[in-house]
Amino acid sequence: MARLAQPGVRRRAPADRDVTDLPGERLAHALRRRGSMQLKDVMTHNVEVVRPDASLVEAARTMDSLDVGPLPVCDGDRLVGIVTDRDITVLERVSEPAEPDR
């Protein structure tokens, strides 16, 4: 199982290992090789979206089925916002009844 780096802590490659073996370094290496790669070369096309009047449950189910965290919110062809799995998690947490003080 891969260990996640702690925020602000950079991992160094062991001397006998190619730095492109580290997570994220392969992408950086590819970007350096390709020079001026553009977003259109790596972005997701045909993006799934939700409408502004969709329910939170519908948005959460869409995220789950697509295995994504962010989901664009569009009104017709116009992007009006973005909702993330974190937005839904925070909303659920703050809308739960508070436990009484003991």
pLDDT in tens, 60-79: 999 999 999 999 999 999 99
Q: How many percent of the chain have pLDDT more than 70?
A: 66
Domain that includes residue 29, residue range: 13-43
Q: What is the 3-state secondary structure (H, E, C) of 60-76?
A: HHHHHHHCCCEEEEEEC
| 60 shares its domain with 92 | yes
- Residue 82 phi, psi dihedral angles, 5° rounding: -145, 140
What backbone phi and psi angles, to 5 degrees, belong to 39? -55, -35
Q: Is residue 2 part of a domain?
A: no
Residue 23 has pLDDT above 80, yes or no: no
The count of domains in the chain is 2
What is the pLDDT, as a whole number, of residue 10?
Answer: 45
pLDDT in tens, 33-53: 666 777 887 788 889 999 999
In this structure, are 54 and 86 located in the same domain?
A: yes
Residue 79 confidence (pLDDT): 96
Asked, for residue 74, whether it belongs to a domain, the answer is yes
Residue 22: which pLDDT band, with cuts at 50, 70 and 90?
Answer: low
Residue 101 has pLDDT above 50, yes or no: yes
Q: Concatenate the DSSP letters of all residues of 17-62 into one string.
A: S-GGGSTTHHHHHHHHHHSS--GGGTSPSS---B-TT--HHHHHHH
Positive/negative CA dihedral, 67, 68, 74, 78 = negative
In a domain? residue 34: yes
Highest mean pLDDT, choosing among 1-5, 71-75, 94-98 = 71-75
